[in-house]
């Protein structure tokens, strides 16, 4: 290809089931030589004689990929890997490794990596030198002048006398680097672990830890992750030659899925030695388990030609992951065909999760029935059954709680609708306190939702809720979708002088004479409004909370007009503090005394809630202040009218309000008409 071949390529496919297309862009780049070649690690490769080690040569920036060759002396045992080329940022990174097994005599030998490329004038080269460590060729203990006894097993016993100096010399030769020589008396051999492989979740297992050639018998401790499991083990000791002791500890336990990747540690302690001698051996557990179907669902969509395509999805979690899936419809195994397409995914999510999709084109009523998804591994099988009814709606998806709109008493949930089954669908939302989710009496239900979001109000603060959502149409219900969420912490309204505190205050006049008893405000659900006169605190600057007129709605039979009051941190003049209502619903009120009286006398309104308040000190205008809260109640088929001003103060003492209208500070009074 040349640079002229660059451009956008499109592919079009036409079938009886519909049309499809795809496109991709091709950019043909010019050749470029590599700009850097190196060997991973230091220029000196430290290894041990007789041990296989690896060196990796890497080159950057070539286009097309450069060619890497290793130049290695014939004295070395070598195994060369295949070159790997990775495209990155318009060029290639190429790697090739060499595995060598040096001997004692290969110390100081260099391994060379050469790089060639059509754009290079000469071959690039780099090298690494071997630093080969080797154990001693000989270890000798000089015999003292005293008598020596052979025990017949190759062990020499030296007879020493109490309080007599007996020199014994140990000599090491031929090591690289110089050996450290130390003396120990009677430590056991390092411990060894067995039985840590082929562990399966839920299947009892036994792991053994063995330490030989010690004296006296050691102590053995076990750790599984950070948990001490020594009490689950037993210890067996046996006599060995030379008066030594062998110790074997057996740990019996049943692995769980969560034990995967945990470290199992056996610690051998010899308290008789001074200082106390201890050694440990550690291995990482690999826990296998049979497939578990963690998710199964169906999604439908309408194609451009009007036919319906159904996608059944089955998600499995297993270790090792399940790559063998089978779909069965009404006890008949399904394969790829004219209407059926089965697609499997690769492992994901820590290499345990795989999935399979069954795609059915032109779905009809005859496709109703049970669809089984089977996931198989050598450790077992996972099964899920999806019941499909064409006329039933699909479950909603994308069900989540919007955290930015969560308050101490409300949760805002949203979702995406699934296929409606060919008829009008609505949604039902069930919410329960999380710790009592199985008790229906502790749950609330909101039904006949025809939107894709809803705000739950009147909830408890700092409380976890389990939310369940499903779709309903005339044919039946979909399966459910679930999530959990918590309300925010409640912040008391009486907090003063704090940025961000919001208080709505409404002034109420005195009921009778010198009596400071507050009258209840009438809370009326489905009432069309409030008609009242607003008053702002006289002592506040007009620039902070200017009075604003409020639009009106049509009145109902009681001449009440509905408004929605906005919140600010405006407060009455000190020392008057607002009283608080005991209810959490929107307050509907009127300054039309006759209309308010009629509404109070109605006995048939089941949705009316009275907000009781405590009596407070009145100001110079004869107004007493309370704080009201807002709920979700709205008049039927009528949107709320938001106020455009700040906190409002109102009174049902009509004489006091009339006096206010006639005062000179009328610019601070807003009238809702």
Helices (H), 500-625: 593-601
Task: Give which of 663, 511, 662, 508 is closest to 591, Cα–Cα.
Answer: 508
- In the CATH hierarchy, which fold is given to the domain comprising 290-388? Immunoglobulin-like (2.60.40)
469 vs 587, more confident? 469
Residue 491 banded pLDDT, cuts 50, 70, 90: confident
H and E: helices and strands count for the chain: 2, 47
- Give the whole-angstrom CA distance, residue 587 versus residue 567: 14
Residue 644: the pLDDT is 43
Which pLDDT belongs to residue 441? Answer: 63
In the chain, % of residues over pLDDT 70: 68
Least confident of 7-16, 207-216, 225-234, 268-277: 268-277
* More confident: 534 or 74: 74
At residue 185, the pLDDT reads 59
pLDDT tens per residue, range 168-204: 888 888 898 888 887 665 677 888 999 988 899 999 9
Q: Which of 157-161, 333-337, 394-398, 597-601 has the lowest mean pLDDT?
A: 597-601
Domain ranges across the chain: 36-133, 136-146+156-181, 192-285, 290-388, 397-486, 498-673
Indicate whether 242 pLDDT > 50.
yes
Task: Report whether pLDDT(317) > 50.
Answer: yes
Q: Which distant-in-sequence residues (6+ apart) come within 8 Å of 615 by Cβ?
A: 516, 517, 518, 579, 624
Mean pLDDT of 329-336: 90
First and final CA of the chain: distance in angstroms? 78
In this prediction, residue 571 carries a pLDDT of 42
* 36-133 against 290-388: fold identical: yes
Output the pLDDT for position 85.
Answer: 92
Residue of 492 and 438 predicted with greater confidence: 492
Residue pair 113/57 in contact by the 8 Å Cβ criterion: yes
Q: Which residue has the higher pLDDT, 532 or 190?
A: 190
Q: Is it the case that residue 2 has pLDDT exceeding 80? A: no
pLDDT tens track for 453-480: 999 999 999 999 999 999 999 888 998 9
pLDDT in tens, 25-80: 887 778 889 988 999 888 899 999 999 999 999 999 898 899 999 999 988 889 99
Q: Report the pLDDT value the prediction gives residue 265, as an integer from 0 to 100.
A: 94
Write the burial class of residue 184 (CB in 10 Å: 0-12 exposed, 13-18 middle, 19+ buried).
exposed
Region 351-366 average pLDDT: 91
- Output b/e per residue, 530-548; b: 16+ Cβ within 10 A: bbbbbbbbeebeeeebebe
What pLDDT does 487 receive?
A: 94
Stretch 627-645: mean pLDDT, rounded? Answer: 44
Residue with tokens 């009328």, as numbered in its chain: 666
What pTM, to 2 d.p., does this model score?
A: 0.42
The residue among 577 and 538 whose pLDDT is bigger is: 577
Q: What is the CATH class of 397-486?
A: mainly beta
CB 402 within 8 A of CB 410: no
Under CATH, what is the fold of the domain 36-133? Immunoglobulin-like (2.60.40)
Range from 60-64, 98-102, 252-256, 571-575 carrying the lowest mean pLDDT? 571-575
The 10s digit of each residue's pLDDT in 496-521 is 443 333 333 333 332 333 333 333 33
CA distances from 491 to 401, 406, 526, 571, 668 (A): 21, 13, 29, 17, 30
- Which residue is associated with the tokens 């407060």? 571
pLDDT number for residue 143: 66
Average pLDDT for residues 376-392, to the nearest whole number? 92
Class of CATH domain 192-285: mainly beta
Residue entry with tokens 């202040």:
625
Q: Is a pLDDT exceeding 80 seen at residue 626?
A: no
Quick one: pLDDT at residue 656? 47
């Amino acid at each position: 290809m040349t640079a002229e071949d660059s451009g956008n390529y499109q592919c079009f496919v036409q079938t009886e089931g519909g049309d499809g297309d795809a496109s991709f862009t091709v950019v043909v780049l010019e050749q470029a030589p590599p700009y850097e070649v190196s060997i991973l690690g230091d220029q000196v490769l430290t290894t041990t004689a007789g041990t296989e080690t690896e060196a990796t040569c890497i080159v950057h920036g070539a286009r097309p990929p450069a060619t890497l060759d290793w130049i290695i002396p014939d004295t070395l045992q070598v195994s060369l890997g295949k070159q790997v080329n990775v495209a990155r940022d318009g060029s290639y990174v190429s790697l090739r490794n060499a595995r060598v097994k040096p001997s004692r005599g290969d110390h100081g030998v260099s391994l060379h990596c050469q790089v060639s490329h059509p754009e290079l004038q000469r071959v690039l080269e780099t090298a690494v030198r071997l630093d080969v460590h080797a154990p001693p060729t000989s270890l000798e203990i000089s015999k003292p002048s005293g008598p020596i006894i052979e025990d017949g097993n190759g062990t020499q016993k030296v007879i020493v006398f109490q309080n007599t100096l007996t020199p014994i010399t140990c000599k090491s030769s031929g090591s690289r680097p110089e050996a450290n020589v130390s003396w120990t008396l009677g430590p056991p051999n390092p411990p060894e672990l067995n039985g840590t492989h082929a562990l399966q979740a839920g299947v009892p297992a036994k792991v053994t830890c063995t330490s030989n050639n010690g004296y006296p018998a050691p102590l053995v401790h076990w750790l599984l992750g950070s948990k001490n499991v020594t009490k689950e083990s037993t210890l067996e000791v046996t006599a060995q030659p030379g008066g030594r002791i062998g110790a074997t500890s057996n740990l019996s336990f049943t692995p769980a899925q969560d034990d995967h990747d945990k470290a199992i540690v056996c610690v051998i302690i010899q308290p008789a030695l001074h200082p106390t001698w201890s050694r440990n051996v550690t291995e990482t557990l690999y826990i296998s388990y049979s497939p578990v179907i963690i998710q199964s669902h169906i999604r439908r969509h309408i194609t451009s030609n009007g036919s319906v395509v159904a996608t059944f999805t089955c998600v499995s979690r297993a270790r090792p992951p399940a790559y063998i899936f089978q779909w069965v419809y009404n006890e008949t195994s399904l394969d790829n065909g004219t209407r059926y397409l089965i697609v499997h995914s690769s492992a994901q999510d820590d290499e345990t999760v795989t999935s399979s999709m069954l795609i059915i084109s032109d779905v009809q009523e005859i496709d109703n029935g049970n669809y089984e998804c089977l996931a198989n591994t050598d450790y077992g099988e996972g099964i899920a059954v999806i019941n499909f009814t064409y006329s039933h709606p699909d479950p909603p998806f994308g069900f989540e709680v919007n955290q930015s709109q969560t308050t101490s008493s409300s949760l805002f949930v949203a979702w995406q609708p699934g296929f409606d089954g060919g008829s009008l669908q609505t949604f039902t939302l069930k919410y329960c306190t999380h710790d009592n989710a199985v008790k229906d009496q502790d749950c609330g239900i909101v039904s006949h939702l025809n939107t894709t979001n809803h705000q739950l109000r009147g909830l408890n603060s700092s409380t976890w809720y389990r939310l369940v959502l499903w779709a309903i149409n005339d044919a039946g219900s979909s399966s459910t979708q679930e999530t959990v969420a918590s309300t925010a912490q409640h912040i008391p309204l009486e907090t003063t002088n704090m940025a961000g505190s919001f208080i709505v205050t409404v002034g109420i006049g005195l009921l009778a004479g010198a009596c400071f008893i507050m009258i209840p405000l009438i809370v009326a659900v489905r009432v069309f409004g409030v008609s009242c006169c607003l008053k702002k605190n006289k002592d506040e600057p007009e620039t902070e909370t200017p009075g604003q007129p409020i639009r009106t709605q049509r009145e109902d039979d009681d001449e009440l007009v509905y408004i929605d009051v906005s919140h600010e941190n405006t407060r009455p003049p000190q020392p008057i503090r607002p009283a608080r209502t005991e209810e959490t619903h929107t307050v509907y009120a009127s300054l039309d005394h006759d209309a308010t009286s009629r509404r109070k006398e109605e006995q048939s309104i089941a949705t009316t809630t009275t907000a009781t308040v405590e009596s407070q000190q009145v100001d110079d205008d004869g107004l007493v202040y309370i704080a009201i809260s807002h709920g979700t109640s709205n008049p039927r088929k009528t949107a709320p009218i938001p106020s455009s001003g700040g906190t409002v103060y109102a009174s049902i003492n009509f004489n006091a309000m009339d006096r206010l209208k006639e005062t000179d500070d009328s610019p601070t009074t807003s009238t809702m008409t």
